[in-house]
Structure formats: structure tokens, C-alpha cells
Structure 1
């Protein structure tokens, strides 16, 4: 049984609830038991797509073997070697903390500016181009971005709750 519910605070966030009849350990449990760091688990067409970080190729084989032993099959869709890893599943505290502190308009401005390359160095787009894309004035864009910046600074430097 699967339930997908849109979050009240933010239309970009959905809650996924899954109830399954499995006596075996879940994929998430297997990942953590083998010291892999889960980043994303997506249910798709009766399959799970999992993105996780592992130490090296031998660790990947260990994790894959554990999953195949418990669940019968595994298809490796790709791998990438990197020097740094992202946040584990549920560990992105800044994103979680900010999700309820930004208005829909602020989130839309921030997401559009990011997607268009406003924060890259060198900058790929001007504020005027973002404002035009969103069909808002340059001053409205500036005010929304400053409120977002204020919220981030308050989270990082303000009193701890």
C-alpha cells in the first residue's frame, strides 16, 4: 500500500508512506547495516531506485551482495567516483530547517535563480533575466532574495531553538 501526500507547508515536498508485507530487512536497513550512506530511495514501477555512497569498489560489491541475498536481484544503473559525499538520507538539516521558513514566492525565486545559474561564478544570468522569467519586477526579485538570505543567516547565526 502506498500513500503520497503533498506537504502543507510547501508544494515542493511530498510525504511517501509505504506499507509492505516483508519479513526481510528493508533496503534502507541493509544500506545502513553495511555502512553505505543512503541519499535517495525512490519507488518506481514496483522497483526501488537507490542512490548511496560507499567507500570503494569492494564496499559496493559487499553492499550489492547483501541486497541480492535479501531481495534476490540488483541492477547497477551507474557509479560515480567522487572525493566528497553529500548528505545521507534525512541528514540534510539545513534543507529540512528551511522548508517551512520560506514562502512559496521566496522558494520559487530561489529555485529559479539557482536553476538559471545566478549563484554560479561567473554568474550565468542577471537579476533582470530572472525577474523577466518570473514576470516580476527587479525590485520584487531583490526583496525576495534578501528575505531568503536573511532566513539562511538567521538559521546559521541566530539563537538556537
Structure 2
């Protein structure tokens, strides 16, 4: 990169490299992010996310299975997974939206 910049500056005296990329981002606290996420989650998504995290579902090896957690919440395992996937999707979308990576309605499309 340096070679390219030096070549351009040598050829064109009036050119100055200011930055590779400048991006302004709003500063957001952890609490603001948390509140933003909580506003996007349904009550059930929040309770499932909290339950699976507390039960060690994301640990390796897992401390609890989805079936055990589903039973403790009195829901079927597929229902637990549905709420968990929804909560994870909101978490990821909120992260990317809040960090400026993607706008609310913009995300990479999968190739078919």
C-alpha cells in the first residue's frame, strides 16, 4: 500500500492521503445496546436466551441439553429452538445495526 501511495504522491504533487477510510460512529454504552436488544426481543425469546445461558447451554461441553432446558420451561424442544434462534437472530442483527456494519434492512444475501 505504501508503494502505491508514494507513487501517486510522486506523480501528483497536490494529492495527500488523508486516511484509508474514515467512518464516524455514534458512541453507545453497553447499557444502551442492552436496552436496544431487550426492546427487540419478545418476552419468550428473552426468557429462553436467559435460561439457556444460565444453564450452560453455550458452554463446551454443554452443562445442559436443549431438552432439559425445554422441560424446565415447560415447552417442547422444537419450541425452545424456535425462540432461541429468534433471539440469536435479534442479537446478531442488533449488534451489526448498532456497530454500523449493516443498516437495519441491509444484510449480506446468501448465494443460492
Rg larger for: 2
TM-score by structure 2 length? 0.58
Structure 1: which 5+ runs fail to align? 1-89
Higher strand share: 1
Equivalence for 1:108? 47
1:160 shift after superposition = 5.2
1:122 shift after superposition = 1.8
Instruction: Pick one of 80, 84, 91 that aligns with 2:29.
Output: 91
Query: Does residue 159 of structure 1 match 2:97?
Result: no
Higher relative contact order (CA 8 A, sep 6+): 2
SS at match of 1:99: helix
Structure 2: which 5+ runs fail to align? 1-27, 97-101, 106-112
Q: Give the whole-Å Cα distance in 2 for the aligned partners of 1:102 and 1:143.
A: 13
SS at match of 1:139: helix
Runs of 4+ in 1 over 4 A off after TM superposition: none
TM-score by structure 1 length? 0.41
Higher helix share: 2
Equivalence for 1:141? 80
